[in-house]
Chains A and B, each alone.
Chain A
Amino acid sequence: MSELVLPSSSVMSDPGERGRFGEYGGRFVPESLIPACAAIEEAFRDAWGDPRFRRDLDRLLAVHAGRPTAFTPAWRLSAELGVNVLLKREDLAHTGSHKINNVLGQALLARRMGKTRLLAETGAGQHGVATATAGALLGLAVTVYMGEKDIERQALNVFRMKMLGAEVVPVTGGSRTLKDATSEAMRQWVTCVDEAHYCLGSVMGPHPYPWMVREFQRVIGDEARRQCAAELSTGVPDYVVACVGGGSNAAGTFAGFVDTGAQLIGVEAAGGAAVASGVVGVLHGFRSYLLQDENGQVSEAHSVAPGLDYPGVGPEHAHLNDAGRARYVTVDDDEVVPAVHRLARTEGILPALESAHAIAWVIKAAESGELPPFSTVLVTLSGRGDKDVATLMEAS
């Protein structure tokens, strides 16, 4: 096995063979999936240390996904808030969100492992669209599992996936949302582990997924770190803010700044706030904070942003929280919609409802004085709001 190219700091590094971030993470899957997870870990370790794989991925990210993404000073919003807001523009990445970063990495890895199919779960449909896109690009068949309720809410993305050649399978069990789509994707993966790779969409799931997905997303933080170094007199921002569903755009962003003095802030939806209101549990292969009832049954999350409608959170975030290296805050649905409108009118940028959680917190914290005047705040804008226009029309 080749050497890994990883940062030396002990936080946000290699979680080791047992996939542990402090007490979180692990590989809690049925025995039938253990060999498949072990094979992915081995393949990823090997690929991530292979300069050719890295070059191939960087090239795809550049020529297909449009990286590096822009770094935009939010001039007018900054003037209004009295803090210096900088936007990392994942909304400008191909397919409209950061999800493509992870998917291109996993699809390349799947091909390297000789797989011919990709399976994916999706909630908002952004990860499903990204997976369908990578499948079309790299010649892999794609099956996307999606809760029946989300299929109704996100009709546009369902159509996009189909146009890209993916099969979209409705999931009718349980709450018929992202959590159930994830369960079903895992069940179906068991039946086809030889030919299919499960392309998980966030920093969750059994080891090595939380680590692998963070590494594929760290391109966000690495680019932003360089962009900050070029643009800011201080080199690094005072605050680094990102929304947290499963936590992949936040993990990728934080990875670029964890060894600096920047304060790392993850913004959860109040109705899906695993760090803020969950207790330690195990779901979908990993141990982390999890929303559950008094009997240990997993609760449904509720958010206006379908991508944040997940009852758990990636294990590394649980660890960063406990270690005090990152802070997790929440915003309500009714703070999010105004934040979308405000960014649209001050900067001409229509953010995704998920991303607007990060903006909403910055607005609130600047107005309350929690963010000191003139502080610099980097916000990852994880996606664009086109998919949310119907929801926004209903809300207004």
Chain B
Amino acid sequence: MKMLVPYLTGGIRPDWTRYLQEYERNGADAIEIGLPFSDPILDGPTIQEASDRALRRGVTTRSVLADLAGVRIGIPLIAMTYYNLVLHRGADRFCADLAEAGVRGLIVPDLPLDEAGALSDAAVANGVDLTLLAAPTTPPDRLAEIAERSRGFVYAISVMGTTGERDELAESGVRLAGRLRELTGKPVLLAFGISRPEHATAAAGVCDGVVVGAALMRRILDGDEPEQLGAALAGFRAGLDTVTV
């Protein structure tokens, strides 16, 4: 089975955790939760707007984690945020906060391999998997090191660009997934630009799963209810399940 990991901006509306429950019910294997940051350098307009909206509601890392502590979700939760929020809290306390809220993984897009040492150690100490990102331009030696040091899975950025919807699954992503699978037995998840079920189908042939972000967040920004998001996610699940290899 291929892994399906939908993304949700934490605190996007007061009852935001209902989306998590719908995601779980409709085939998600894990959920990536964005902790809103004022300056999301690797996010395109959709997720930028979602973060801004959440921040304007007064959402903080603490409030998102507190909300999570109040819901029962049976699948792994992975936090995604920018390094300043980690540094501000202190790497160790930040990871301890995640663990306490039941969050098992962490992705920090502006923290590359070379700077990740301290957070890596803090994550291990608190039982949190720090997942590293790989990009189409990552040279071979570096890619091997990322595959080696990434925990949980490897997050493959499919395109040279930010998060956001795209018309097609990028060829650069297909190539990157192939390179990574030759280097590691860890699951390789393709992310960025997986916008339609058929992209998930195409990706499933070359990697171990997909992250779906902007395509879902746009619907939420447009006002779609949790049930509607559940139905949308089910479409991606069906797309992935057509592939059995």
**Given contacts A187-B44, A298-B84, are A35 and B162 in contact (CB under 8 A)?**
no
- Contact call A298/B38, Cβ cutoff below 8 A: yes
Interface centre among A34, A187, A193, A281 (most CB of B within 10 A): A187
- Contact call B61/A31, Cβ cutoff below 8 A: no
Complex: chain A residue closest to B139, CB-CB: A35
Q: Does B113 contact A (CB under 8 A)?
A: yes
4 A-B pairs with least C-beta separation: A296-B88, A32-B135, A297-B38, A31-B135
In the complex, chain B residues whose CB is within 8 Å of the CB of A297: 37-38, 55
Q: How many B residues face the partner with a CB closer than 8 A?
A: 44
Q: Contacting A193 at CB < 8 Å: which of B113, B115, B160?
A: B160
Q: Which residues of chain B in 174-194 are interfacial with respect to chain A, using CB atoms and an 8 Å cutoff?
A: none
In the complex, chain A residues whose CB is within 8 Å of the CB of B112: 27-31, 34
- Shortest CB distance A287–B (Å): 8
Q: Which residues of chain A in 285-343 are interfacial with respect to chain B, using CB atoms and an 8 Å cutoff?
A: 285, 287, 290, 292, 295-298
**Given contacts A26-B115, A29-B112, A179-B39, are A296 and B61 in contact (CB under 8 A)?**
yes
Distance of A244 Cα from B57 Cα, bound (Å): 34
- Shortest CB distance A289–B (Å): 12
Q: Does B18 contact A (CB under 8 A)?
A: no
Distance of A281 Cα from B37 Cα, bound (Å): 13
Q: Does B60 contact A (CB under 8 A)?
A: yes
Contact with A along B40-67 (1 / 0, CB 8 A): 1111110011001001000011100000
Complex: chain B residue closest to A207, CB-CB: B114
Given contacts A29-B41, A30-B112, A297-B37, 13 further A-B contacts (CB under 8 A): A28-B110, A29-B110, A30-B42, A30-B109, A30-B135, A31-B109, A36-B137, A173-B52, A174-B39, A193-B137, A296-B87, A297-B38, A298-B38
In the complex, chain B residues whose CB is within 8 Å of the CB of A280: 87
- Contact call A32/B87, Cβ cutoff below 8 A: no
Contact with A along B70-93 (1 / 0, CB 8 A): 000000000000111101110000
- Contact call B111/A191, Cβ cutoff below 8 A: no
In the complex, chain A residues whose CB is within 8 Å of the CB of B161: 32, 187, 190-191
A-B contact pairs, 6 of them (CB 8 A): A30-B135, A32-B42, A174-B39, A179-B39, A186-B41, A292-B88
- Contact call A187/B162, Cβ cutoff below 8 A: yes
Distance of A292 Cα from B115 Cα, bound (Å): 21
**Given contacts A27-B115, A30-B133, A282-B83, are A35 and B138 in contact (CB under 8 A)?**
yes
Q: Which residues of chain A in 164-185 are interfacial with respect to chain B, using CB atoms and an 8 Å cutoff?
A: 173-174, 179-180, 183
In the complex, chain B residues whose CB is within 8 Å of the CB of A180: 39
Distance of A26 Cα from B112 Cα, bound (Å): 11
In the complex, chain A residues whose CB is within 8 Å of the CB of B27: none
- Contact call B136/A32, Cβ cutoff below 8 A: yes
- Contact call B39/A183, Cβ cutoff below 8 A: yes
**Given contacts A193-B160, A282-B87, are A187 and B137 in contact (CB under 8 A)?**
no
- Contact call A31/B48, Cβ cutoff below 8 A: no
- Shortest CB distance A179–B (Å): 7
Q: Does B157 contact A (CB under 8 A)?
A: yes
- Contact call A190/B88, Cβ cutoff below 8 A: no
- Shortest CB distance A27–B (Å): 7
- Contact call B39/A283, Cβ cutoff below 8 A: yes
In the complex, chain B residues whose CB is within 8 Å of the CB of A191: 160-162
- Shortest CB distance B218–A (Å): 16
Interface centre among A26, A27, A190 (most CB of B within 10 A): A190
Q: Does A162 contact B (CB under 8 A)?
A: no
In the complex, chain A residues whose CB is within 8 Å of the CB of B45: 173
- Contact call B111/A28, Cβ cutoff below 8 A: yes
In the complex, chain A residues whose CB is within 8 Å of the CB of B61: 295-296
- Contact call A31/B41, Cβ cutoff below 8 A: no
Q: Does B146 contact A (CB under 8 A)?
A: yes
In the complex, chain A residues whose CB is within 8 Å of the CB of B49: 173
- Contact call B52/A295, Cβ cutoff below 8 A: no
Distance of A284 Cα from B39 Cα, bound (Å): 9
